[in-house]
Chain A
Amino acid sequence: MSRGIPTPGSDSGRETEPLATSAPFGADLLTDLFVNPLDPGYADAADHKRRRGGPSSSGRLFGRLATAVALAFFGLLLSVAYQHMAAGAPGAERARTSLVREVTGARAESESLERRAARLRDQVALERDRVLGGGAEADRLRDLEAGTGLAGVSGPGMSVRLTDGPPEVDPVSGEPTGEDLGRVLDRDLQRVVNALWAAKAEAIAVNGQRLSTVSTIRGAGEAVLVDFTPVTSPYVVQAIGPPGMARRFESSRTAEQLRWLRDKYQMGVAVLEQDRIVLPAAPQPRLRYARPPEHTASPSPTGSGR
């Protein structure tokens, strides 16, 4: 066991001698590097020259030229590296802006498509009314559409405006602690919407996004998504409903909770009654599993009349 690993004490004579004579890069490579940074080649070349005399004049000229070329290359390298760095520094920023542009473009396109869909839907409704002859059937259809969110509606109502509270600030360092307790969460919006439904609201929209029967409000990281469309603070929940709605909402548990959040975390909460609110139609729900009943002969929408 003691033979395998020579310890400094035991075999020191045999260990150190070859190191000192033949191996310049021994354990002291780093020390050597610090003490003697110059290439030993220069000293060797100088020695060589002293012993053998300098190179011929043509050789010297060639050497000069090579040095000049090397230095020119060095200068080129420097300027290219500098330019590269200068161009590369905002690379991340550029990638970000291009992504942002893409997102804004896609969003604008989606909005214009939505507008077009709404226009076409209006047209379809108009045509249908014309075909049906504006009877009781057509009225019923329109009522149903308004109720399910498939048609724009207007009427008296109220709005609840929620804004993010100021970010929590560390009292010692004065820097944000990172946990925004005053931030409006998807849960808060869900509660407000549910409380409004409970307060007999007939149509609700969040930041102009009309809610239908299959609408979702959920959080994705920092963002709140309403039907997969991100909405940001201030969040305005508008609801059309009977006159007593605002009072009923104010006396609900949700309103109590909001007041508590406002007092404790400075979340902005404002309830406003409005005489006239216009809400757009919700996007057509994509039903994947639910199918209309086979027999559409029965006019009953529930199909239970059979």
Chain B
Amino acid sequence: MIAVLALLGGVILGVVLHPTVPVALQPYLPIAVVAALDAVFGGIRARLDGIFDDKQFVISFVSNVLVAALIVYLGDQLGVGGQLSTGVVVVLGVRIFGNVAGIRRHLFRA
């Protein structure tokens, strides 16, 4: 409940404040979103599994976002930014799908 409210609060905050993203950070925004999505789905699945842990969630969230951005940054410096971000998206996408499959098993028993 608190989680959903916090999420909604964040969305509203974003809509109301309309913060501008610095140009240097803009390439990392989509990757950060995917990474955060992975952490969130992992958290949801863990909650359904009954093993959710706040510390674990926060750390995985923050590290996911930072590491994903770092990888893309490194890729950009090496000239393979596009390929590396594709790799990050693929890996995170696979994880998201796996976690969503787990959530689905919990919710629909299928």
Q: State the A residues within 8 Å of B (CB).
A: 33-39, 41-43, 45-46, 49, 60, 62-64, 66-81, 83-85
Contact = CB atoms under 8 A, between A and B. Distances in A.
Nearest to B55: A63
B98 A34 contact: yes
A99 to B, nearest CB: 20
B74 interface: no
A72 B21 CA distance: 17
A297 B65 CA distance: 85
Given A63-B53, A64-B2, A76-B11, 14 more contacts: A39-B46, A42-B56, A45-B51, A60-B54, A64-B54, A66-B54, A70-B61, A71-B3, A71-B6, A74-B36, A75-B10, A75-B12, A78-B11, A81-B30
Nearest to A49: B53
A30 to B, nearest CB: 8
B99 to A, nearest CB: 5
Report, as a range, how many residues of chain B touch the other chain. 35 or more
Given A38-B98, A42-B52, A45-B56, A84 B7 contact: no
B42 A84 contact: no
Contacts, number: 142
B10 A76 contact: yes
B11 A79 contact: yes
Contacts of A79: 10-15
B67 interface: no
A33 B42 CA distance: 13
B56 A71 contact: no
B91 interface: yes
Contacts of B59: 41
Contact of A83 (B10, B18, B50, B58): B18
B33 to A, nearest CB: 5
Contacts of A62: 54
A119 to B, nearest CB: 47
A69 B36 CA distance: 13
B2 A68 contact: yes
Interface string B1-44: 01101111111111100110100001001101100100110110
A64 B55 CA distance: 9
Contacts of A77: 10, 14, 29, 32-33, 36, 65
Contact of A75 (B11, B61, B95): B11
